[in-house]
Amino acid sequence: MSHEHVSNTRRIWFVFILLSVVTTVEVILGIFKPASLEFNHFIGLNLLNWIFYILTIFKAYYIVWAFMHMEGEKSSLRWSVVSPVIFLVLYLLFILLTEGHYIYGVFKDSTIKWNF
């Protein structure tokens, strides 16, 4: 936490409003599911899901940076916390999702019925 003890109540409320607005947008999109977003794909993921993931990371950034006050820490701490998570998670997701997709193909093309 930063060592000058100034109150940043205003920033806290600003971030709260920001997070609430983003959540509301997500819920509205989730309820209406605009077809133009849902059925257009970009790199294997439809645009609606892209928006959801981007907004989620946007919220995560504000929670970590403002609420957990990462912005007040030294950059050495910031990097040693954030970079392992980001790289390991990307690696994990790449492997798991690729394999999941592969197994889907195996089931689909196999001559044995597995769920009927």
Partner 1 sequence: MEATVTTANNEEKTWGGGDNQPLGASYGKMMMWFFIVSDALTFSGFLGAYGFSRFKFIETWPLADEVFTHFPFMHGASAPMYYVALMTFILIFSSVTMVLAVDAGHQLKKTKVAFYMFLTIIGGFIFVGSQAWEWKNFIKGEYGAVETKGGSLLQFVDKEGKRVAIADFAVKLPEQREALTRNKTSWFMEDAETLSTYSVAEIQAGFKAHPELLIRTEKLTAEKKKTVLNRAESETRLQDARYVVEGANLTRNEYGSKLFADFFFFITGFHGFHVFSGVIINIIIFFNVLLGTYEKRRSYEMVEKVGLYWHFVDLVWVFVFTVFYLV
Mask for 30-69, x = binds partner 1 (CB under 8 A):
xx------x----------x--xx-xx--xx--xx-xxxx
Q: How far apart are the first and last CA of the chain?
A: 57
In one-letter notation, the amino acid at residue 42 is: F
Task: Tell me which residue of 50, 26, 48, 24 sits closest to 35, measured CA to CA.
Answer: 48
The neighbouring-strand residues paired with 42 are 45
Angle at CA of residue 43, ends 37 and 45, nearest 5°? 45
* Minimum distance of partner 1 from residue 23's CB (angstroms): 5
Binding site for partner 1 (CB under 8 A): 1, 5, 7-9, 12-13, 16, 19-20, 23-24, 26-27, 29-31, 38, 49, 52-53, 55-56, 59-60, 63-64, 66-69, 73-74, 76-77, 80-81, 84-85, 88-89, 92-93, 96-97, 99-101, 103-104, 107, 113-116
